[in-house]
Amino acid sequence: MSTTLLEVVTPERIVYSGEVNMVSIKTGGGELGILPKHAPLAGTVKPCIVRVKVAGGEGYIHVGAGFLEVLPERVTVLANVAELPEDIDVERAEAARQRAEQRLNQHDSGTDVDRAEAALRRALARLEVVERTRNAGNVLHRPS
């Protein structure tokens, strides 16, 4: 099966770089499945869980907002935040989930509902990446 290079990059580092069989990512235009030799395109990335198929199975990467460039031989995701499952602090993500839920349940005029909902979505996505990896195993590894 043919592959394409996937690079997930934040301002601080390269989070993932490796050959993949398919990338599924949420963009400004909706969910996008990218196979090797995909037609060139560029777009925005919405905060999501990127699903990556490789020869050994499926892997997951949590990404924040960013940009996507697709070329026939490469897919590049530039995101403000990106985390492999082993980078996620489960206790911290769980605490963030609880704080966001408390803010949403307060119902006072000082609560920024949009911000609390965004924080809750981020925390839930991080926890989901970890849970999916526990069930399926981690097939994605940090670049050397």
pLDDT at residue 61 greater than cutoff 90: yes
> For 94-140, how does the pLDDT look when each residue is reduced to its tens digit (9 = 90+)?
999 899 888 888 866 666 888 888 888 889 898 888 888 877 666 77
Query: What is the reported pLDDT for 63?
Result: 95
> For 11-54, how does the pLDDT look when each residue is reduced to its tens digit (9 = 90+)?
999 999 999 999 999 998 899 999 999 999 999 999 999 999 99
More confident residue, 143 or 131: 131
Mean pLDDT of all residues in 58-79:
95
Query: What is the reported pLDDT for 119?
Result: 86
Query: What is the reported pLDDT for 112?
Result: 80
Query: What is the reported pLDDT for 144?
Result: 60
DSSP annotation of 133 reads H
pLDDT at residue 70 greater than cutoff 70: yes
Domains and CATH numbers, the chain: 1-144 (2.60.15.10)
- What is the rounded distance in angstroms from the CA atom of residue 86 to the CA atom of residue 110? 35
Query: What is the reported pLDDT for 120?
Result: 87
pLDDT band at 91 (very low <50, low <70, confident <90, very high): very high
Q: Where are the beta strands (DSSP E) in 28-122?
A: 30-34, 41-45, 48-54, 57-63, 66-71, 74-79, 82-83
- What is the rounded distance in angstroms from the CA atom of residue 46 to the CA atom of residue 8? 14
Phi and psi (nearest 5°) for 38? -65, 150
β-pairing, 4-9 vs 74-79, is parallel
